[in-house]
Amino acid sequence: MEHTAEDIVLDVRGQICPACLLITLSELNSNKERLKGEKARLVVKTDHRDATRTIPGAAFAMGYSVSVVQKERHYEITLEHEK
Amino acid sequence: MSSAGKIEETDLRTSNERLKKYIREKVNHLLSVMGTKPLNKEELDDSTLIELDPIGIIALSFEQVLEHQKETNRRLTVAKDQLQAVFDTVGVCISIIDEDMRIVNCNEKQKELLVSSNTKAIGRHCYDIYCGKDSPNLDCPAVETLATGKPVFIREVKKKHKHFQIVTSPLNDADGKVTGVIEVSMDVTEKKKVEELMRQAEKLTAVGLLAGGIAHELNNPLGNILGYATLLLKDRESGLRPEHREKLEIIVEQAKKGGDIIRGLLDFSRQSVPSFSNVPINDIIRKTVRTLQNRFSSQRIKTDVVLPETFIVRADPRQIELVILNLLLNSIQAFEGVNGREKTISVRTGRENDFVQVTIADNGPGIPEEILPNIFDPFFTTKPIGKGAGLGLSICSGIIKEHKGSIHAGSEAGKGTEFVFLLPAAGPASG
Ligand SMILES: Nc1ncnc2c1ncn2[C@@H]1O[C@H](COP(=O)(O)OP(=O)(O)OP(=O)(O)O)[C@@H](O)[C@H]1O
Ligand SMILES: [Mg+2]
């Protein structure tokens, strides 16, 4: 897939995620303009399985499309403006 | 520490606990509103609960949720308007019908073709609104789809005098149960009319050729009969006795009649070329009515001929006379068997744009709806053998067509029949 958008990476691997969801939401809030303007995507790297279940619901409601890819030892959750 | 201080500290701790519990509950509540699961205690320990300002984060996120919702609504409205426009401007009728055969929705085309202007169609039975019936047709494709759950592809159905090609497909709920039908139909009435005209024209051509051929063949022997009989009559030396002379005169008269019939057949087969001129249609009408005066009076038929204005048409007067004669004869014949009430034949003329319109109507028994489409067919007759050949109206329609006019019939059973034909007017409307 072709995209020129910059990736904002939120790497919370190896941390006992302090409410991974809340941090992601906070990140979506502070980068709202760039994300909505399709200048950037937010990539969350986490080894916390629960996050793959909590993030998509909230992100959908906010108008982001979510894709979750399982890497060898972590998950990569990509959030971008839903077209 | 004093005991009072201890009590204060305990109070503070409990109130702190209550506050944290409150924040945690509200955070989880808000998250569930946003469509996600509550947080585990390990995910959000007490210190981060305060540091992270979860309610602040969620409040900002809600802003995005609302913006997204607004945008979604806007897009839905646009999509809905677009769909509605497609729904209404597409050239076919579309109806959504529920399992009780009530109309859930229908597009403008559907309303235009089958719903009378002041009627509310939604919620009413489709067979009532679209077909004008109090129960569905036996061959109704919607009934079939409701019963079988399967689509019906292209069935031709008649609704309120119009012909439609219909496709139906089932509407299913989540469990696959049929809850309604989408019916898409296309008006093919005009197409069918054209096909019918073509069929009739072909038939007419074939019959015309045949009739023309026979007429030609008969013309010669008949001419000879007439010629020899006339010669014999004129021959003063033949020594004919008066009664023989009388019989000979009958032969001449009958041969002439035969000649007329042949000329009629040639007219029909259009092998006699019409000779057009500008003629006042009223004169032709009056002359033809006069020819039939005896039959009108002997059958006690009232004629109601009102021709207030002079209309000039471009026509072959002999052929138009033939048309009027045929129409009047049909009316006269239709009155056979009608007794004990007033019998009237009326004739009217009028202007219809570039055409002059002639209407010949009677209050006879009328023409049954099911044979109305066939009356212009050659050899179509309801009269006994020897009474009618079924050629009259097909001759009329052939002649009128040759004049670049049109003819049609309307009838209401028991009330009477009306024939209307149009001929090109010669010159602009007077007055
Ligand atoms: N005024 C009328 N009232 C009732 N029925 C009519 C009238 N005019 C025509 N018809 C019906 O249309 C049929 C066809 O008419 P058409 O003039 O073509 O043939 P016909 O009168 O039966 O025979 P022909 O004209 O050759 O003597 C008639 O047999 C009759 O059933
Ligand atoms: Mg007739």
Q: Domain A6-81 is of which CATH architecture?
A: 2-Layer Sandwich (3.30)
DSSP-based three-state secondary structure for B16: helix
The finding on whether B230 has its CB within 6 A of some atom of ligand 1 is: no
Q: Does A22 touch chain B (CB under 8 A)?
A: yes
Cβ(B323)–Cβ(B271) below 8 Å: no
Q: How confident is the model over B7-46, as pLDDT tens digits? A: 778 888 888 888 888 888 888 888 888 777 777 776 677 7
Which residues, other chains included, contact B24 with Cβ-Cβ below 8 Å and sequence gap of 6+? B39, B44, B49
Ligand in nearest proximity to the CA of B389: 1
Please give the residue of chain A at the shortest CA–CA distance from B41.
Answer: A19
Look at ligand 1, atom 7, and give the residue with the nearest C-alpha.
B330
Count of other CB atoms within 10 angstroms of residue B362:
24
Cβ(B300)–Cβ(B343) below 8 Å: yes
Predicted complex ipTM exceeds 0.90: no
Q: How confident is the model over B183-207, as pLDDT tens digits? A: 999 999 888 887 777 676 666 667 7
Q: Does domain B190-272 have CATH number 1.10.1740?
A: no
pLDDT of B369 strictly over 50: yes
Dist. CA B144–CA B167, nearest whole Å: 11
pLDDT of A76 strictly over 80: yes
Answering whether pTM is above 0.80, one says no
CATH class, domain B276-424, is alpha beta
B375 Cα: distance to centroid of ligand 1 (angstroms): 7
Cβ–Cβ below 8 Å for A16 and B52: no
Look at ligand 1, atom 8, and give the residue with the nearest C-alpha.
B330
Cβ–Cβ below 8 Å for A55 and B36: yes
Nearest CA to CA, how far is A31 from chain B (Å)? 11
Query: Mutation test of ligand 1: which of B303, B325, B343, B375 has the most ligand atoms closer than 8 Å to its C-beta?
Result: B375
A3: its two tokens: 């995209």
Confidence of residue A16 (pLDDT cuts 50, 70, 90): low
Q: Domain B91-187 is of which CATH architecture?
A: 2-Layer Sandwich (3.30)
Domain ranges of chain A: 6-81
* Confidence (pLDDT) at B431: 41
The finding on whether B274 has its CB within 6 A of some atom of ligand 1 is: no
The finding on whether B101 has its CB within 6 A of some atom of ligand 1 is: no
pLDDT of B95 strictly over 70: yes
Distance, C-alpha B67 to centroid of its chain: 51
Query: Between A and B, how many residue pairs show a Cβ–Cβ distance under 8 A?
Result: 74
pLDDT of A49 strictly over 90: no
Domain ranges of chain B: 3-85, 91-187, 190-272, 276-424
CA dihedral B300, B304, B310, B316 (to 10 degrees): -40
Task: Kindly report which listed range (A8-12, B348-352, B396-400, B427-431) carries the lowest average pLDDT score.
Answer: B427-431
B422: its two tokens: 């149009």
Look at ligand 1, atom 17, and give the residue with the nearest C-alpha.
B392
